[in-house]
Structure 1
């Protein structure tokens, strides 16, 4: 579902099904990973990092509160539809913004995540930005990099939408969006058979495979779509594994994340011709599913990912 249609659906749900939420009372304190963040008012110069977090903010109608975004065009993640939606909103950095870039743009709010624009010990962290007057809200799924967390679930994304709703005083939009996402996923799950194919997610890498363990959102998407994540026992988020592990666990379906300079077709060709993978069921039967980066990372397009994966896992 494209963003424009989604916003229309959300408006319909907001107008007919949900009771109005109480307005935000500032100062507001929100939990972000293992920190408390206090807002004295709704941010006026917000920046979102990466396409999935930018998508969330735009779906909540927060463009008037935004100074810009970062980390999208540098990874070749922009769709034609997204270009239209982003029109008039400047990209402050094609990959990673600097502290100076945020300060020069008078930014007062930075929505990013660990391994999604921020890294432990890096220049851009809540610890470096908060003293400069920039409040940071961390993507919930990414908190696994800085604290112990349960396996990823769609509740992580719902939590982010609820918190953004409170921070910007748009709780009604957030609640309506969450309700719509839950309804769409419920419709998919009503039709799922009991059988669950073994599934491996391939992001990138040749010497070793970049993939996701149970703390990354792909695990939640695979399970929600009626698949059996072969790495559900790996206590990690985005991580690398040896090809021997893939062979041993023998996935029946491989999900390829499409982004960056290496195309999905090139990734599939690499897998199909890798000498060590020729015994893998997914390779032998050519069972591949491609989803774009924005669907494989936490955000509103996770619904589309679950719909696509469910069809691919259970073509019957």
Structure 2
């Protein structure tokens, strides 16, 4: 079990008024970090990587415990977020990738990110490295399926619920987390109950020209498609984000193409590109002009995934 150096804390109120318990030198709580049990102090200077991490903290009313966020430039502006007011209360620490120097310089006491999405062996910032520096870390459960040494395999939307529960435990606001999870579960259940009794094949197009970059079975869009009455044409690919050949898309004949909307290329330009490819002319989704635009933060682990699910559910019911 990982342990961190003790830190003396004082009582604080969260942004929504939930009381975070006072913590003495021995006050820690044991919470899973992927498949590893870790002891946590109550964080006071949390750093979030990308919108999904920050949104989870804001949705739990923990803005007062967030120092800032790291937001690569391809991400949509935080001013467009439903949590825009919370983003405005904390510091934007960088518009680049997460790195060790940034975290150390910020005197962060918790970093929230995904495995290989924020944390990276290649870039020299991992939970194990931060443990050695006395800096706590929490990972998106949906990214844990291939975490070295402590893998954990959980369906992506179930992973979202688990993240909220774990963060609720770390920050000592479990009741707030339980209420939020119950609300999200009810919204998901409503979409599932109203979904058409079909398995309409769906292909997610993220980017790429020679080979399209898409979603495999370990990322939230796979669950979004399934719950709303669709079926990811790459649901048999064990992974997260992956590239495939165009011939695979043609062979699997998606009836809907989901467009991941982010970066410098607009969703409209992505749709125009797909329509321009001669090899896709026979694909039902292209022939019937069935394109659904998913915002970037509706496709990564965070509470906005449920917004995307509700919108996609309505789209599928209208087909």
1:131 matches 2:136: no
Deviation of 1:150 (Å): 4.1
Alignment partners' CA distance in 2, 1:101 and 1:298: 23
**Following the alignment from structure 1 to structure 2, what is the Cα–Cα distance between the partners of residues 153 and 107?**
27
| Closer/same/farther in 2, CA of residues 29 and 296 from structure 1, 3 Å limit | same
CA distance in 2, matches of 1:150, 1:33: 9
1:165 alignment partner in structure 2: 168
Pairwise CA RMSD of aligned residues? 2.1
Whether the 8 Å contact between 1:296 and 1:305 is mirrored in structure 2 is yes
5+ residue gaps, structure 2, are 1-15
| Structure 1 match to 2:246 | 243
Task: State yes or no: 1:97 paired with 2:98.
Answer: yes
Q: Alignment partner of 1:36: what SS?
A: strand
Structure 2 match to 1:17: none
**Residue 144 of structure 1: CA displacement?**
2.4
TM (norm. structure 1) is: 0.88
Equivalent in the alignment of 1:207: 210
User: What is the aligned partner in structure 2 of residue 66 from structure 1?
Assistant: 66
Structure 1 residues 286 and 94: CA distance shift in structure 2, 3 A? same
In the TM superposition, what is the alpha-carbon distance from 1:151 to its structure 2 partner? 6.2
In structure 2, the residue matched to 1:76 is 76
- The alignment partner of 1:314 has SS state of helix
- Relative to the length of structure 2, the TM-score reads 0.87
| Cα distance, 1:149 vs structure 2 | 5.0
The answer as to 2:289 corresponding to 1:286 is yes
TM-superposed deviation, 1:139: 0.7
Match of 2:232 among 229, 234, 244: 229
Residue of structure 1 equivalent to 2:36: 35
Question: 1:47: which partner in 2?
Answer: 47
Is the Cα contact below 8 Å between 2:49 and 2:113 reproduced in 1? yes
User: 1:262 is matched with which residue?
Assistant: 265
The alignment covers a number of residue pairs equal to 296
- Does the 8 A contact of 2:274 with 2:280 survive in 1? yes
Distance 1:52 1:268, change over 3 A: same
Measured in 2, the distance between the counterparts of 1:272 and 1:150 equals 36
- Long gaps (5+) in structure 1: 1-10, 15-21
User: What's the offset of the Cα at 1:23?
Assistant: 10
Match of 2:190 among 187, 190, 193: 187
> What is the deviation of 1:213?
1.0
